[in-house]
Structure 1
Amino acid sequence: MAELEHLGRDLLVAPFFAGDSWSTFDLELRPREDDRGRELGLDLGAAGGIDALRQALVLRLLTPRGSLEALGHAGYGSRIHELIGRENNRRNRLLLRARVLETLLQEPRVAEVLAVEVSPDALDAGIVHVHAEVRPVGAEDEPAVALDLEVALQ
């Protein structure tokens, strides 16, 4: 997969591109090296290209829409949090799918959402799995970027 640097570069706060709450995110320190591979100390980690997009999507999905209004970003985030505590039934899974799709389409670096699949967990009736695939802007010849989520409805 190409680097796709036009997708940007951000501070790395979600090194595994996953999280279940804001307490799971933090700046990451990484070793910094010179051109010869000698360690120069530590620096803040960065996510670039596809990784920057993956991290941005995770953060957007976990941020309640409206929570950044005071910073001038009232429309940023998702409405997934509104589904927490609801019954895990077909109607609510379809609503979750719609909310995920809506959120992914907000991201300007996403050219197309190729798939959003929602399925109940086989063992835990309160858990739902979401698999999404997106095509980044400028990546028509590249494989889709996959994102997997686990949402606890109940």
Structure 2
Amino acid sequence: MHRKILLALSLACLPSTGCDSQACTLIGCGSTFQIALQRDAWTAGEYTVTVVADGETIECAATLPLQCEAPPACPQNSPFILGLEGCALDPSQHKLGNIEFQQGHAPKSVALQIHQDGALLGEGQYSPTYSESQPNGPDCEPTCVGADSVTLALKE
């Protein structure tokens, strides 16, 4: 009997029934734009990642093999994160994973260069096309901004 009452109460507030209240879920937003860095073998060395986003240049630096206690690769005020992957694994599995712009930062133009020990491994230029979404449903926060991810293949 109690199950029938609960079902009737939950059906009574479906948006199709004209109920003014709406239950929102708690899904958050992901990154606004992401550039995956692809390379078959990440070898030991000094890596420099230079990103120019809407005219602002930010340089990040990482050393492979990684040290788990190392400070972040990018400056504290950076609008993106440089993903460093595998520090707790065998050094042969350490790598630079991606450049991930956070919500609130949706650059119209992005230029990227990756160097290892001063040698250029790859570069790319991107003009992301953003769209908005509401993952928790209409009239529910947050409103997320995002563009399709891209992949930059690097030299071996």
Q: Which has the higher helix share?
A: 1
Q: Which has the higher strand share?
A: 2
Structures share fold, TM-score greater than 0.5: no
Greater RCO structure (CA 8 Å; 6+ sep) = 2
When Rg is computed on C-alpha atoms for both structures, the one with the higher figure is 2
Q: Which TM-score applies when normalising by structure 2?
A: 0.25
Q: Which TM-score applies when normalising by structure 1?
A: 0.26
